[in-house]
Amino acid sequence: MDLLSDILNVMQLSGTLYFRTSFTAPWGLQVPQFENVARFHYVHRGRCFAQVSGHEEPVALEQGDLVIITRGAPHILSDPVDADVETVDQVVQVSGFTGRGALIYGQTGTGHETQLICGHFAFDPGARHILLDALPAYLQIKDYGKSTPDWLDDTLKIIGGEAGNDRLGSDLIALKLSEIIFTQAIRKYLSTDGRTRAGLAGFSDAQICRALEAIHTEPSKSWTVEGLARIAGLSRTSFSNRFSELLSHTPLNYLTAWRMQIARRLLIDSELPIIEVAEKSGYGSEAAFGRVFKRHFEMPPASYRRTKTEPLPQSA
């Protein structure tokens, strides 16, 4: 599995679609904060503005643009930029939206229409990775359909046609295809603005990427800085400095953090004995593994497994 796919797989990326909209200007929508998700809005038709909390300048979104609010921050969508704003609940109530078809808001024929496809990308709440932590508060990809491969442009058109449609299977088709959008958006960002962003630049650096791919291919191997430096084609010192500069982590810190993510998934998804989880995570001793795991998650592996796999108590 390639580097980005491996990271998103362990992070357990999943897409959720809220609705396809038909908003007629003037309109304004206040979207509340939501934890452990990246919200997205794709402008299928028309235009609007996005104002992300903590950022003064509104983001102008034209037809074909995609914006991803990477950490689910509260934000406002509107047309025009200074339109009166209502909450999502208020808009849903006024529109009479039932969860089927498009969310229609405003009086048809009175102004400019905006069709959005809105949803979010969720991740396992306990999963962490520097790639997602280092992303900016929002990603805007202009004319997303044309800036990506032809097949993805077709995918966007399919999502636009299927989202909120009453045909059998439409919602599932749009939902699964939406997960492709996040992966492609991150891939594009890493190859453009992300090339110079601290914490992300290493994912587009050919030499550092070779070392990262080696770690992800064989995470349980007894890696040393010298061994990773040889794979990268650099001296030990040059490799360590370059890795830390581009990823804001030392090579061994990155290795440990990734092993811990593998370990936590094995504890949740399997019934393997702790010693086998330790070995698959690169540790020859259960005691050594336990110390590192507890330092990362503030509880021993066995306790972590119990808290994540025991059923919640039934309310009376």
Give yes or no: residues 90 and 190 share one domain: yes
Residue 314 in domain? no
Find how far residue 167's CA is from the centre of its chain: 28
Distance CA 121, CA 12 (A): 10
* Domain end call among 172, 196, 220: 196
- The answer to whether 99 and 92 are in contact (CB under 8 A) is no
In a domain, 315, yes or no: no
Residue type for position 133: D
Closest to 79 in 3D by CA, of 123, 24, 121, 118:
24
pLDDT truncated to tens, each residue of the chain (316 aa)?
789 999 998 998 887 777 788 899 999 999 999 888 899 998 988 999 999 999 989 999 999 899 999 998 999 999 999 999 999 999 989 888 887 778 889 876 667 899 998 888 888 888 899 999 999 999 998 877 665 555 555 665 666 555 555 555 555 666 666 677 888 889 889 988 999 998 999 999 999 999 999 999 999 999 999 999 999 999 999 999 999 999 999 999 999 999 999 999 999 999 999 999 999 999 999 999 999 999 999 999 999 999 987 664 554 3
Say whether pTM exceeds 0.85: no
Domain limits for position 214: 206-309
How far from 97 is each of 21, 48, 101, 105, CA to CA, in Å? 10, 21, 8, 9
Task: Identify residue 142 by its one-letter amino acid code.
Answer: K
| One-letter identity of residue 71 | R
Per the listing, tokens 């074909």 go with 64
Q: Which of 171, 159, 57, 147 is nearest to 115 (CA)?
A: 159
CA dihedral 264, 267, 272, 273 (to 10 degrees): 90
- We report the CATH number of the domain holding residue 11 as 2.60.120.280
Residue type, 305: R
From CA 150, how far away is CA 157, in angstroms rounded? 11
Strand partners of residue 78? 28, 49
**Residue in 176, 216, 174, 193 with CA at minimum distance from that of residue 7:** 216
281/145 same-domain check:
no
Tally the domains of the chain: 2
Residue 272 lies in a domain: yes
The CA distance from 3 to 246, in Å, is: 16
Residue 226, exposed/middle/buried by CB under 10 A (0-12, 13-18, 19+)? exposed
> Are 177 and 71 in the same domain?
yes
3-state SS, 3-43, equals HHHHHHHHHCCEEEEEEEEEEECCEEEEECCCCCEEEEEEE
CA–CA distance, 100 with 38 (Å, rounded to integer)? 23
